[in-house]
């Protein structure tokens, strides 16, 4: 899924975006580590980076390179663009076979894979613990990069969540914006019933084959599918029990529009069938595709679970940048990332303006770019709100087996929705997970 946020900032942004996408870098689909070893800034030195989504992720590197080159004129960056699944397969194949040749200096990593990579291939990835001031990043993002008190990589984009809502539907149902602020999921369901009755619109979508909503709920309570020591976290976990109770309650209330697949999901709100979308900040792109709905959308904090420690904030998605420990250009690659993506407000201001990307670098949150309002969202300064919520997201350990745990849950979810005993279903999920990872 492409986590690409659209541009809301100014009318001139569109022109900036088009200009930014026209990178002068050549893309090579077979590139690997350069053998150049000259010191940074003293001679020509080419660093190779692998990433997916050339326009968004590669575009961010273009911005970083432009900023870095001001003080390092000899620095060169080659961006190798490949599909995410191909990048991960090629990396795993090389590392599992012990073949280090042909690997890049810099690598984009999906956050749920971080701990699995570090644990599976010890000594492969460079440690950034003392290279970046991580106190300037949202804590939950740093937690995802931390293994045994060492930080591997530089935080990049985030998916801090919000509850996008159709203000016209909410008002038609007799509610105001304040009625959606810092509510519980039980209150959300109550409001959803009224919205369905008064407007005929569903409150939200539901796809039993997608675990996005359960993931958002779990992290909002500081919990996850697995424990920090990679054990299943389904049994005797109040956050998991409450998450699945809420999930079934939404389905039972008749306020969720059933969807299958991404196209139906996006189509549900582009066509005006649902009143809310609970998703990451990157979902702005999909919502703004319906230009005729401009001015009818706003964003509120997500609802929270009705348990101790739960908050009205969570995260969905995100990635980070790694450097290969054995790279001939390790120091150059690390300095490049640490100086720009790891420590430049200007980078994050441009990343937002030119690419619509949101990071977790706190000093950038007070910049003009983040404070501008959006006509599409009724004049709301949505990025000011999203960055505020990002500071409240609970940090969790994503562990090594997130995907296996999600698959185990999805296998049992239809039974839960059909009224199976929840305690027995949780035990079944735990057992299936243990069978998969043993």
Write out pLDDT tens, residues 185-198: 999 999 999 999 99
**Checking DSSP bridges between strand 106-110 and strand 256-258, what pairing results, if any?**
unpaired
Q: Residue 14 pLDDT more than 50?
A: no
List C-alpha distances in Å: 265 to 259, 271, 402. Answer: 6, 10, 23
- List, in sequence order, every residue forming a beta bridge with 258; answer none if it has no partner: 206
Q: What is the mean pLDDT of residues 369-381?
A: 96
Confidence bin at 285 (pLDDT 50/70/90): confident
CA distance 200 to 50: 47
Pair of tokens at residue 414: 């239809």
Alpha carbons within 13 A on the beta-carbon side of 407: 10
pLDDT averaged over the chain? 90
The string over 44-53, giving b where at least 16 C-beta atoms fall within 10 Å of a residue's C-beta and e elsewhere, is ebbbbbbbbb
For residue 43, the model assigns a pLDDT of 57
For residue 433, the model assigns a pLDDT of 97
Pair of tokens at residue 18: 């088009």
Is 208 strand, coil or helix?
A: coil
Instruction: Go through the domains of the chain in sequence order and give each one's CATH number.
Output: 13-159+316-390 (3.40.190.10), 160-221+235-315 (3.40.190.10)
Are 126 and 325 spatial neighbours (Cβ–Cβ below 8 Å)? yes
Q: Residue 107 pLDDT more than 80?
A: yes
Confidence bin at 99 (pLDDT 50/70/90): confident
Alpha carbons within 13 A on the beta-carbon side of 297: 31
| pLDDT tens-digit readout, 150-164 | 999 999 999 999 999
CA distance 17 to 285: 14
Confidence bin at 100 (pLDDT 50/70/90): confident
Q: Residue 165 pLDDT more than 90?
A: yes
- Give the sign of the dihedral formed by CA 382, CA 23, CA 103, CA 339: negative
The dihedral over CA atoms of 210, 320, 324, 230, expressed in degrees to the nearest 10, equals -50
Q: What is the mean pLDDT of residues 291-315?
A: 98
Ranges 95-109, 216-230, 248-262, 270-284: which has the least confidence: 95-109
CA distance 150 to 395: 15
Helix and strand totals (H; E) in the chain: 17, 11
Q: Residue 35 pLDDT more than 60?
A: no
For residue 30, the model assigns a pLDDT of 40
This model's pTM is above 0.75: yes
Q: Residue 110 pLDDT more than 50?
A: yes
Q: What is the mean pLDDT of residues 130-134?
A: 97
Length of the chain: 438
Pair of tokens at residue 368: 């003009």
């Amino acid at each position: 899924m492409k986590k690409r946020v659209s541009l809301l900032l100014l009318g001139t942004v569109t022109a900036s975006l088009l200009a930014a996408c026209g990178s002068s870098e050549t893309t090579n689909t077979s590139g690997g580590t350069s053998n150049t070893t000259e010191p940074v800034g003293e001679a020509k030195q080419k660093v190779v980076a692998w990433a997916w989504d050339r326009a968004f992720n590669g575009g961010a590197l273009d911005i970083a390179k432009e900023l870095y080159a001001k003080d390092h004129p000899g620095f060169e960056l080659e961006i190798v663009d490949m599909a995410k699944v191909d990048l991960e397969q090629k990396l795993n194949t090389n590392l599992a076979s012990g073949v280090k040749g042909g690997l890049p200096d810099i690598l984009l990593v999906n956050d749920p894979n971080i701990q699995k990579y570090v644990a599976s291939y010890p000594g492969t990835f460079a440690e950034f613990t003392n290279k970046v001031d991580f106190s300037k990043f949202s804590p939950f993002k740093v937690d995802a990069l931390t293994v045994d008190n060492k930080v591997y990589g530089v935080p990049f984009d985030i998916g801090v969540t919000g509850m996008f809502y159709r203000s016209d539907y909410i008002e038609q149902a007799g509610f105001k914006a304040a009625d959606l602020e810092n509510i519980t999921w039980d209150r959300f369901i109550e409001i959803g019933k009224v919205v369905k009755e008064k407007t005929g619109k569903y409150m939200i979508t539901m796809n039993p084959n997608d675990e996005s909503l359960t993931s958002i709920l779990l992290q909002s309570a500081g919990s996850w599918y697995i424990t920090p020591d990679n054990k299943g976290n389904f049994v005797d976990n109040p956050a998991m029990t409450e998450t699945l109770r809420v999930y079934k309650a939404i389905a039972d209330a008749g306020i969720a529009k059933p969807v299958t697949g991404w196209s139906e999901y996006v189509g549900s709100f582009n066509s005006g069938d649902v009143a809310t979308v609970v998703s990451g900040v990157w979902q702005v792109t999909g919502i703004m595709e319906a230009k005729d709905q401009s001015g009818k959308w706003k964003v509120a904090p997500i609802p929270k679970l009705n348990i101790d420690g739960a908050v009205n904030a969570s995260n969905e998605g995100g990635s980070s940048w790694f450097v290969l420990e054995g790279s001939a250009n390790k120091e150059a690659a690390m300095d490049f990332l640490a100086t720009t993506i790891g420590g430049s407000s200007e980078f994050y201001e441009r990343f937002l303006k030119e690419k619509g990307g949101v990071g977790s670098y706190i000093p950038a949150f007070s910049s003009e770019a983040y404070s501008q309002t959006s006509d599409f969202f009724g004049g709301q300064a949505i990025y000011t709100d999203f960055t505020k919520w990002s500071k409240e997201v609970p940090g969790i350990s994503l562990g090594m087996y997130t995907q296996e745990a999600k698959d185990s849950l999805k296998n049992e979810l239809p039974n839960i929705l059909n009224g199976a005993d929840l305690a027995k279903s949780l035990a079944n999920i735990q057992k299936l997970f243990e069978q998969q990872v043993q």
